[in-house]
Amino acid sequence: MNGTTDQTRHQDRVWSVAEHLDDVLSKIDPLDPIELQLLDAQGCVLVEDITVPVALPPFDNSSMDGYAVRAADVADATESTPAVLTVIGDVAAGSGELPGIEPGQAVRIMTGAPVPPGADAVVPVEWTDGGTGQGPAATMRAHSAAPQDAGGEVRVHRPAAAGAHIRARGSDVTEGEPALRAGTVLGPSQIGLLAAIGRGTVRVHPRPRVVVLSTGSELVQPGEALGPGQIHDSNSFQLTAAARDAGAIAYRVGAVADDAETLRSTLEDQLIRADILVTSGGVSVGAYDVVKETLAALSAEEGTVEFRRLAMQPGKPQGFGLIGPDRIPLLALPGNPVSSYVSFELFVRPAIRALMGLPEVHRPTTPAKCTEAVASSPKGKRQFLRGSYDAEAGTVTPVGGAGSHLIKAMAHANALIIVPEDTTEVPAGAEVDIVLLG
């Protein structure tokens, strides 16, 4: 046992939601950066400024399937008096060798293909006869079906100004320009840009590995039949899914029986692969509340976990501390399913996102008009009721009651309605703040 006096003092007082959250976040720093493959870095925060090594596009290229020409050669082209040019070859995207174009010549060119020397404009195939001699073409014929179209003559029916349908080298980004700044969250478009400029890997704060462990001798794995007094373990699934949703790599550990030795050895085994540990259950005042019993009694070398009462409902009993040689954060959540999930959203999700170095760690909140009255909310506690938010109407409707065992209501909610500590009832039509669960 360590810090008994401190522990007793902390247990004596009731913590506000903000105090507990501040305590958790004050002890969490972003994980050390590592170099990751692009797709493994999705959703992560960049820790380096990225400079463009080569211009984009890297060469002048065509934005249309058509013919690369000299603008001067087609300046007088009309529907009735087309410019007739000699086609000297094809340039496909990826072509390395480019034929030079002399006056009176054209090259059939594909979208993305380099503009050959001598050409200064591209005419789309629809402005030509496609080399068929039969009036305006809608498409080109496939090279494999009509290789002769890479030669012969093409009639161009409309003029094209110099530069027409050419995407100039560097028109997207130029060499040496900043591409992305440190602190950028890497979404699909940022990953696309990194790939386009040739970056195969990037330095980011990695996704935290979250180990989720539920406790309770009554718990049975879903899919297995229930015996007397047993229930299915839903928390570990819900919390693991929530951890993934928050951006973490989550590992679910099967339910651990209410036995101190088993819990202790399971935690020891799991520490090696965890950046953050989450337990559910066993934190209240019962005779089998093994999480509290075990973690409150860690030695100084093993770490410290404090158990406290919060002025909130659901989610009153909470444990938080740092354990193991690497002082891994552990959040011990209450076992009631709604309590554990609400606690996760309020405390674990921000912790995960702080480990990722994300700028915004909290779920967004918004005001909404509550369609129904909330008859009673405990005085002195911040209550988080489940709600169904209608963004268009700007309204929220309570779903189910306040009971922290109401799993179905939670599954039908998309928001948490916040009833502040000093509010004991909410009249229908009153404005409330809600947490959007996304």
Ligand X SMILES: Nc1nc2c(c(=O)[nH]1)N[C@H]1C(S)=C(S)[C@@H](COP(=O)(O)OP(=O)(O)OC[C@H]3O[C@@H](n4cnc5c(N)ncnc54)[C@H](O)[C@@H]3O)O[C@H]1N2
235 binds ligand MOO (CB under 6 A): no
Alpha-carbon distance 425 to 89, whole Å? Answer: 80
Nearest residue to ligand MOO by CB is 339
Identify which range of 36-44, 68-76, 87-95, 328-336 contacts ligand X by CB under 6 A. 328-336
Token pair, residue 147, equals 């290789």
| 7, 190, 266, 336: residue in contact with ligand X (rule CB under 6 A) | 336
Which residues, 6+ apart, have CB-to-CB distance to 189 below 8 Å?
Answer: none
Which residues, 6+ apart, have CB-to-CB distance to 251 below 8 Å?
Answer: 209, 210, 211, 212, 240, 270, 273, 274
Choose the one of ligand MOO, ligand X, none that binds residue 125, judging by a C-beta under 5 to 8 angstroms depending on kind. Answer: none
- Single-letter code of the amino acid located at 39: L
Site string for ligand X, 178-217 (x = CB under 6 A): ------------------------------------x-x-
Token pair, residue 24, equals 């958790």
Instruction: For residue 142, report the phi and psi dihedrals to the nearest 5 degrees.
Output: -60, 140
317 binds ligand X (CB under 6 A): yes
Nearest distance in Å: CB 406, ligand X: 12
List the beta bridge partners of residue 385.
417
Residue matched to tokens 């409330």? 432
Nearest distance in Å: CB 214, ligand X: 4
> Residue 240 — left, alpha, or beta (φ > 0 → left; ψ -120 to 50 → alpha)?
alpha
Alpha-carbon distance 317 to 155, whole Å? Answer: 81
Cβ-based nearer residue to ligand X, 214 or 383: 214
Size of the site for ligand MOO (CB under 6 A): 8
CB 101 within 8 Å of CB 132: no
Contacting ligand MOO within 315-334 (CB under 6 A): 315-316, 334
| 64, 404, 410, 418: residue in contact with ligand MOO (rule CB under 6 A) | 404
List the beta bridge partners of residue 181.
none
Choose the one of ligand MOO, ligand X, none that binds residue 184, judging by a C-beta under 5 to 8 angstroms depending on kind. Answer: none
Cis peptide before 82 (omega within 30 of 0): no
Nearest distance in Å: CB 314, ligand X: 6
Contacting ligand X within 260-299 (CB under 6 A): 280-286, 289
Nearest distance in Å: CB 35, ligand MOO: 42
Choose the one of ligand X, ligand MOO, none that binds residue 235, judging by a C-beta under 5 to 8 angstroms depending on kind. Answer: ligand X
Alpha-carbon distance 438 to 427, whole Å? Answer: 26
Task: Report the interface residues with ligand MOO, using CB under 6 A.
Answer: 313-316, 334, 336, 339, 404
Task: Report the interface residues with ligand X, using CB under 6 A.
Answer: 214, 216, 218-219, 231, 233-236, 255, 280-286, 289, 314, 316-317, 334-337, 339, 404
